[in-house]
Amino acid sequence: MATKLVVNCSTGTTTEVELTAEEVAQREVDSAAYATAEAARQAQVTAKASAKASATAKLKALGLSDAEIEALV
Amino acid sequence: MAAHNLISTITVGSGGSATIDFTNIPQTYTDLLVVSSLRTDAAVGYQTSRMKINGSTSNMTVKNMYGAGGGPGSATITTYLLVGYITGSSATANVFNSQNTYIPNYAGATYKSISSESTANNNSTTLYAMDISVGLWSQTAAITSLSLYPESGSWAQYSTASLYGIKNS
């Protein structure tokens, strides 16, 4: 069972407490949301890299040098 | 300079911890400062660090600017309180992030502003991230508890967080 560390700032006492069923459920929701968000982030990075490579190839086909392309992209 | 008074420090033990919670925060200071060095056990290079105020993630608005693997960017977040980027278990071993979160007028009856800065260190030229964010908790209740939690996974052993109370006089 996952736990959390709780410090009572008034007494200075720190305790390790098991998560409640509600907290465990929320962690599972958060974890699923993270997986979805991470997949979207990765897809965005891949799409951006792909678009950049495509744009670079098209600019080269037009006769631009690598230095000229670098100045534009 | 305003006095910084250490209220409490927590260091995570060998079993890890889902959250780091400061409860029963004294209402005798002007501002709060959370200084932390954190790492998540999630298998990522870096991810976000988040905070609950009085157990809540509602009524939050955050604007942030970040620099990460995909390049710099910015975002508006309303579903949680982002307070930084943290190092994950795929990063260099034994490297932790650096994170400061400042909360002025935490005991007052107005909405609470939160400002944070962080770096997800990696001791490497790759897999690192930084973040500057400003948030608003649109609630008037005095802040009595803060909970730090990672986007996924748990805090790794030796993660630490210290809560300071700041007095203007």
How many domains are contained in chain B?
1
Chain B residues bordering chain A (beta-carbon distance below 8 Å): 7-8, 10, 12-13, 15, 17-26, 42, 44, 47, 69-70, 147, 151-152, 154, 163
B153 burial via Cβ count (<10 Å: 0-12, 13-18, 19+): buried
Whether the per-residue pLDDT at B17 is higher than 80: the answer is: yes
Instruction: Find the residue in B nearest to A28 (Cα).
Output: B152
Interchain pair B163, A27: CB under 8 A: no
> How distant is the Cα of A21 from the closest Cα of chain B, in angstroms?
13
Any residues with CB less than 8 A from the CB of B34 and at least 6 apart, and which?
Answer: B22, B51, B83, B99, B100, B101, B103, B146, B148, B161, B162, B163, B164
* Stretch B1-27: mean pLDDT: 94
CATH classification at residue B63: 2.60.120
The confidence score (pLDDT) of residue A6 equals 97
Strands B146-150, A13-18: pairing kind: unpaired
Sketch the domain layout of chain A as residue ranges: 3-72
Q: Quick one: what percent of chain B has pLDDT higher than 90?
A: 82
Using only C-alpha atoms, what is the Rg of chain B? 15
* Stretch B116-136: mean pLDDT: 89
Q: What is the number of other CB atoms lying within 10 angstroms of the CB of residue A22?
A: 8
Whether the per-residue pLDDT at A59 is higher than 70: the answer is: yes
**Global confidence as pTM:** 0.86
Whether the per-residue pLDDT at B43 is higher than 80: the answer is: yes
> Biggest alpha carbon distance in chain B?
45
Q: Which parts of chain B fold into alpha helices (H)?
A: none
Interchain pair B47, A34: CB under 8 A: yes
B29 chain-A contacts, CB cut-off 8 A? none
Interchain pair B152, A31: CB under 8 A: yes
Interchain pair B18, A2: CB under 8 A: yes
> In this predicted model, which residue has the larger pLDDT, A27 or B142?
B142
B19 chain-A contacts, CB cut-off 8 A? 4-5
Per the structure, the complete domain to which residue B63 belongs is given by 3-167
Token couple for B114: 């939160």
A35 chain-B contacts, CB cut-off 8 A? 152
The DSSP 8-state label assigned to residue B40 in this structure reads B
A2/B contact by beta carbon, under 8 A: yes
The confidence score (pLDDT) of residue B169 equals 73
Q: What is the number of other CB atoms lying within 10 angstroms of the CB of residue B136?
A: 15
pLDDT in tens, A3-44: 999 999 999 999 999 999 998 998 888 888 888 887 887 898
The closest CB to that of A5, out of B10, B69, B70, belongs to: B10
Give the span between the Cα atoms of B64 and B73, in whole angstroms. Answer: 8
The closest CB to that of A2, out of B22, B25, B154, belongs to: B154
Whether the per-residue pLDDT at B1 is higher than 70: the answer is: no
The DSSP 8-state label assigned to residue B56 in this structure reads B
The confidence score (pLDDT) of residue B70 equals 67
What ipTM was estimated for this complex?
Answer: 0.89
The confidence score (pLDDT) of residue B93 equals 93
Give the span between the Cα atoms of B19 and B64, in whole angstroms. Answer: 22
